[in-house]
């Protein structure tokens, strides 16, 4: 009887932890994308050129890469809990500190929440992937759907805060939500997690997939995040230039990208009942490339919005499926391999938007800067086709 009660208690604790992880991904989604809708204000406030503005993304995602490295080390040593607690604490401090009159302090705050969600994202995704088993791709799409809820909400929240001169209140509120998540993770039950689990059973599996597959998967993680952050991060500034000035609707432009991304993640579990993961990824990449091309060719604001939405819809299911492949192919060694791949993803997030800004500065056209995410989608199509020949997803 005691054993049965213990099992029920563990099951309830596990369910409560998953609920907390899903809820926590909403403020993480806000933190990940908040630089985008604030970027036009930053450019105007500190008279930044495109290369300098793009440096905010570089700082954010470089810090996120450091956070991923710390997450990998902490998870291997003490399990996921310490990384999640520290991650939410840094995210809270960074978001609250983003309200500053100093360009330098704004960069420091950006580094703080970047490192924070870098600590949070790997453990959250891997915990959910472990819980999902064969349905990990569907469950991960739903997890990242909650991330998308935060990403969608970010632009309207920033717009309302700027319109009513309440940006400090918004940022403080986001900091408080991060603080509550820190407390929640400190109190949550992580029963059943074994940070020192054996990797012997999975060693042959890593050998089976081969070094070439590992390199290709690493490239996919790096390139994808660079592509997503490039389109989503620069969309508000693109819209501002098409509209010949900043307005409420241009500030909301990233919302359309993340609306496409979130709606796609809501639909992905249903699509995966009929379409295999690899075909869905290939179709999604074609759609993302098409959306980016529409933005590049657009001469009107409405056309650009359509392209931004389609690009987001195309991006929807790609990353969750990459994470599902990681968990499926590497088994118990996912923590070790995942630490490297999530770090590369953050590096891609640092490099992609900065490269868009650099190309824009030296070519004199932000449209040409979007060649970076367009080329990224084309390269990933080639890599996924290459993987098809070497392993079955």
Structure token pair of residue 68 = 């991923």
d(CA 349, CA 177): 24
Structure token pair of residue 52 = 């300098």
Domain containing 113 equals: 7-189+203-390
Asked if residue 96 belongs to a domain, the reply is yes
Tell me the C-alpha to C-alpha distance, in Å, between residue 269 and each of 186, 287, 327, 374: 31, 18, 17, 26
Asked if residue 196 belongs to a domain, the reply is no
Name which of 138, 146, 98, 99 is nearest 121 in CA terms: 146
| Structural domains of the chain, count | 1
pLDDT at position 205, please?
Answer: 45
Asked if residue 161 belongs to a domain, the reply is yes
pLDDT at position 180, please?
Answer: 95
d(CA 301, CA 295): 9
Asked if residue 194 belongs to a domain, the reply is no
Asked if residue 383 belongs to a domain, the reply is yes
Q: How many CA atoms lie within 13 A of 295 on its CB side?
A: 38
pLDDT at position 328, please?
Answer: 81
Q: What is the pLDDT of residues 320-358, one digit of tens each?
A: 899 888 888 887 677 778 888 888 988 898 889 889 999
d(CA 381, CA 62): 26
* Strand (E) or helix (H) holding 392: none
Count of helices and strands (H, E) across the chain: 16, 0
Asked if residue 197 belongs to a domain, the reply is no
Q: What is the pLDDT of residues 218-270, one digit of tens each?
A: 999 999 999 999 998 888 888 888 887 666 677 788 889 988 998 998 888 88
pTM of the model: 0.74
d(CA 66, CA 74): 12
Please, which contacts does 305-308 make with residues 24 or more away whose CB atoms are closer than 8 Å?
Answer: 305/239, 305/253, 305/256, 308/231, 308/235, 308/238, 308/239, 308/253, 308/254, 308/256, 308/257, 308/260
pLDDT at position 6, please?
Answer: 44
Question: Which residue shows structure tokens 């990353």?
Answer: 319
d(CA 338, CA 340): 5
Flag residues of the chain having pLDDT under 50: 1-9, 197-207, 393
pLDDT at position 200, please?
Answer: 42
CATH no. for residue 182? 1.20.1250.20
Asked if residue 138 belongs to a domain, the reply is yes
pLDDT at position 4, please?
Answer: 47
DSSP three-state, residue 146:
helix
Asked if residue 198 belongs to a domain, the reply is no
């Amino acid at each position: 009887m005691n054993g049965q009660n213990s099992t029920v208690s563990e099951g309830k604790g596990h369910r409560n932890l998953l609920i907390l992880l899903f809820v926590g991904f909403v403020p993480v989604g806000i933190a990940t994308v908040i630089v985008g809708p604030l970027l036009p204000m930053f450019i105007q406030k500190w008279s930044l050129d495109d290369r300098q503005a793009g440096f905010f993304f570089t700082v954010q995602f470089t810090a996120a890469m450091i956070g991923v490295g710390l997450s990998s080390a902490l998870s291997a040593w003490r399990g996921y809990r310490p990384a999640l607690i520290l991650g939410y604490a840094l995210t809270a401090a960074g978001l609250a500190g983003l309200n500053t009159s100093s360009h330098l302090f704004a960069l420091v705050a950006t580094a703080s929440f970047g490192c924070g969600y870098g600590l949070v994202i790997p453990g959250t995704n891997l915990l959910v992937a472990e819980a999902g088993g064969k349905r990990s791709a569907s469950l991960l799409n739903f997890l990242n759907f909650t991330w998308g809820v935060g990403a969608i909400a970010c632009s309207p929240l920033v717009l309302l805060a700027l319109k009513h001169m309440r940006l400090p209140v918004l940022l403080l509120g986001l900091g408080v939500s991060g603080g509550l998540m820190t407390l929640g993770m400190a109190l949550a039950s992580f029963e059943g997690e074994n940070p020192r689990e054996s990797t012997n059973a999975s060693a042959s599996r890593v050998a089976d997939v081969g070094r070439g597959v590992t390199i290709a998967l690493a490239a996919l993680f790096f390139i994808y995040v660079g592509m997503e952050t490039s389109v989503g991060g620069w969309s508000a500034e693109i819209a501002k230039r098409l509209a010949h000035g900043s307005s409420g609707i241009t500030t909301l432009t990233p919302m359309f990208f993340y609306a496409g991304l979130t709606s796609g993640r809501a639909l992905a579990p249903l699509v995966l009942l009929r379409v295999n993961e690899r075909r869905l990824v290939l179709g999604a990449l074609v759609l993302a490339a098409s959306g980016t091309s529409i933005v590049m060719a657009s001469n009107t604001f409405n056309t650009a919005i359509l392209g931004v939405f389609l690009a987001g819809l195309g991006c929807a299911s790609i990353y969750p499926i990459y994470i599902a492949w990681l968990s499926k192919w590497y088994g118990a060694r996912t923590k070790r391999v995942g630490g490297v791949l999530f770090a590369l993803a953050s590096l891609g997030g640092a490099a992609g938007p900065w490269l868009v800004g650099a190309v824009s500065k030296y070519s004199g056209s932000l449209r040409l800067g979007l060649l970076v995410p367009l080329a990224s989608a084309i390269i990933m199509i080639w890599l996924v086709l290459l993987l098809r020949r070497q392993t079955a997803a």
